[in-house]
Amino acid sequence: MKSVSKTASDSRAQAMSAVSGAFAKLAFREQAKNPVMLMVYVSAILTTVLFILSLFGVADSKPGYICAIAVVLWLTVLFANFAESLAEGRGKAQADSLRAAKKDVVALKLNDCLAARGSHEADPAAFYEREAIEVSSSELGCEDVVFVRAGDQIPADGEVIVGAASVDESAITGESAPVIRESGGDRSSVTGGTTVLSDWLVLRVTQERGKSFLDQMISMVEAASRKRTPNEIALQLLLVALTIVFLLVTMSLFTFSDFGAQLADMDNPTTITSLVALFVCLAPTTIGALLSAIGIAGMSRLNRANVLAMSGRAVEAAGDVDILMLDKTGTITLGNRQACEFVPVDGVAEEELADAAQLASLTDETPEGRSIVVLAKERFGIRGRDLEGAGMESIPFTAQTRMSGVNFDGHEIRKGAADAVRSYVESYGGTYSDECRCVVEEISRAGGTPLLVARDHAILGVVYLKDVVKQGIKENFASLRKMGIKTIMITGDNPMTAAAIAAEAGVDDFLAEATPESKLDAIRQYQAEGHMVAMTGDGTNDAPALAQADVAVAMNSGTQAAKEAGNMVDLDSNPTKLIDIVRIGKQLLMTRGSLTTFSIANDLAKYFAIIPALFVGLYPQLEVLNIMHLASPESAILSAIVYNALIIVVLIPLALKGVKYREVSSSKLLAHNLLVYGLGGIILPFIAIKAIDVILVAFGLA
């Protein structure tokens, strides 16, 4: 309940801040950033001047009518400012929470020679602590070397060069589970603002002051730093072009009206105030007012997903992606092989095989070993035994023997790779039967890993280990396929294993025995065919392919080379996030397209409201177009312009939240868009304008 009330309080605070921000944006410099709304702003100023003149008897309409038009135009500008300020407020709230994690701390600075020398000391941590110099983290620059102990906050983004430690990254990612960071490999990158929980690290700073990932994240979520994307710029240019066209149309209508009045030998009934109202209603003010808010909200959704986009172009490219390349391990599969079946051979009972396999795995702390213990317990109720009191001797796994096991109660039990166990058994005079060979080959063809179990130099059977495909991943790929996105699994496995896992996971294609060169070549080939390619990676060997991909998501836990090559960084280091990024990108494009369709469709009702009202005095035949039977020309014009202002407010929640994401093909999406936002955009204004007209007449306002 407390969290709900806090959320409501935060929302109210953001709304109040947005109201003040809406008035602050009335400055001409702010309005000039949006050409469409600038014309509304100028129109509001013009009608205000006309109202003031009307008070002195210089007017083309009644003062009350001009005042009403001026007020509505100012409200239209304020509503547009409010939408943008509200979207910016959300970004600033995120930035404030990130700034809380960014503070100057004391850093223990080393020089390179001390870092290298300390790694050879008997107690490296004590040596580093003794030799380090205390400096402020704000003084650290790129390539500086620092020592971080348990309990210390990591002072800057860096690469671990000595040591391994458990790190709490919840301040950045929101994930409470600690992660291991160590020198070498693909888990060597650390982020400033995170905290070391255990052990110690020596790291080299990889970012200049003010350019850390946290600094970039803050600047990205603050709307003031958001750059418009190419698609948004193109749409803005289209809206400006339409605005110019409608400005010329309005001027032409005034000339046409004046000509008609001269022919009829009467005063021109079309006033400047009415023409201004016509222009504002016909110009694409709805989408013009919401365009910036849509873009800011889209970036905000990406940032809430803990993804740092290095460029706005990448966000839009995510919406256009039609090829998705994903690593197998950790993305499609759980990342660890699991025991799924005991296959006995040569007349051995399955329970006997399970018992021996469990005994050989009780001291095996690998995920594979633990899964064998669990499977034996689930299948036959076999539980762990007190091996220490039974004189058990553990035989650890080595790269040379490729086996492990136990000597227990007078028996030698071993488990390991098929060829290793075969050599071990045959060296003692045992046999490797045809039945065993067939089982091993069958499991290998299915994409699994056969693990042989032997007792007293006789093979009992095979443990079937397999990469476990993540739950729900197949449904995810099916949804992407409906959207026209092809999924490709990248793996270092042999083609046979890769094919089996690809079939189980439901991916469209796979790249087996992948190398940095083959990944890069595959991306280039797809791009040459006109596809937009997205890829995720975390290692130095992924950097060339990430640099080539249109949407390249690097893991924050990965190497600096991968992060520099990508155009997005996933702060959670979750490879499946790529699927969510594509959905966010598509939702951004869907929202922009839907509201643009709605905005343009709105104009039809305004034609029927304003055109007859303007020219019915000159051409009575136009009364037939007054299908809404609006009370008077003034009421028709005022109703249309009030609707034009209010619809912006009504659409603000949709612009900020985004159009509901639908995983369908482009053709179905277009049909749905035209039906809901096209047809809806035509029908709604007729109903709303008529309702406003009735209210205005009822209260004597028109």
For residue 23, say whether it is annotated as part of any ligand binding site: no
Q: Is 660 annotated as a binding residue?
A: no
592 labelled binding-site residue: no
Which pair of tokens denotes residue 409? 């109660």
In whole angstroms, give the CA distance from residue 433 to residue 440. 11
- Catalytic residue chosen out of the listed positions 327, 467, 572, 603: 327
For residue 327, indicate whether it is catalytic: yes
User: Where do the H-state alpha helices sit in 102-185?
Assistant: 112-118, 124-131, 170-173
SS3 letters for 298-317? HHHHHHHCCEEECCHHHHHH
Q: Report the DSSP beta bridge partners of residue 147.
A: 108, 202
What letter represents residue 627's amino acid?
I
CB crowding 233-242: b at 16 or more within 10 Å, else e: eebbeebbeb
Sheet hosting strand 393-395, strand order edge to edge: 333-344, 458-469, 449-455, 411-417, 403-408, 393-395
Q: What is the DSSP letter of 550?
A: S
- What gap in Å lies between CA 47 and CA 39, rounded to an integer? 12
Distances (CA, A) of 479 to 483, 485, 486, 559, 579: 7, 9, 11, 31, 10
* CB hemisphere CA count around 415 (13 angstroms): 31
Q: Is 397 annotated as a binding residue?
A: yes
503 annotated as ligand-binding: no
Q: Is 37 annotated as a binding residue?
A: no
Q: The tokens 């369709």 sit on which residue?
A: 597
**β-strands 106-110, 133-136 pairing:** antiparallel
Rounded Cα–Cα distance for residues 324 and 553 (Å): 11
Is 542 assigned a ligand-binding role in the annotation? yes
Long-range contacts at 94-98 (CB < 8 A, ≥ 24 apart): 94/221, 94/300, 94/303, 94/304, 95/218, 95/221, 95/222, 98/172, 98/214, 98/217, 98/218, 98/221
Specify whether the CB–CB gap between 568 and 307 falls below 8 A.
yes
Q: How many CA atoms lie within 13 A of 579 on its CB side?
A: 22
Half-sphere exposure of 595 (CA within 13 A, CB side): 32
Cβ atoms 73, 79 nearer than 8 A: no
Pairing of strands 568-570, 307-309: antiparallel
CA 19: distance to chain centroid?
A: 29
Q: Is residue 675 classed exposed, middle or buried when 0-12, 13-18 and 19+ CB atoms within 10 A define those classes?
A: exposed
C-alpha span between 537 and 553 (Å, rounded):
7
Query: Strands of 323-327's sheet, edge to edge?
Result: 307-309, 568-570, 551-555, 533-537, 323-327, 486-490, 509-511
254 is in an annotated binding site: no
Q: Is 267 annotated as a binding residue?
A: no
Distance of CA 684 to the CA centre of its chain: 33
Residue 400 annotated as lining a ligand binding site: yes
- Residue 25 makes CB contacts below 8 A (sequence gap 6+) with 31, 81, 84, 85
- Non-local (6+) Cβ contacts of 608 within 8 A are 625, 626, 627, 628, 686
325 φ, ψ to 5°? Answer: -105, 120
Residue 399, annotated as binding a ligand: yes
Binding-site entries for Mg(2+): 538, 542
Binding-site entries for ATP: 364, 368, 397-404, 415
Binding-site entries: 364, 368, 397-404, 415, 538, 542
Residues with a catalytic annotation lie at: 327
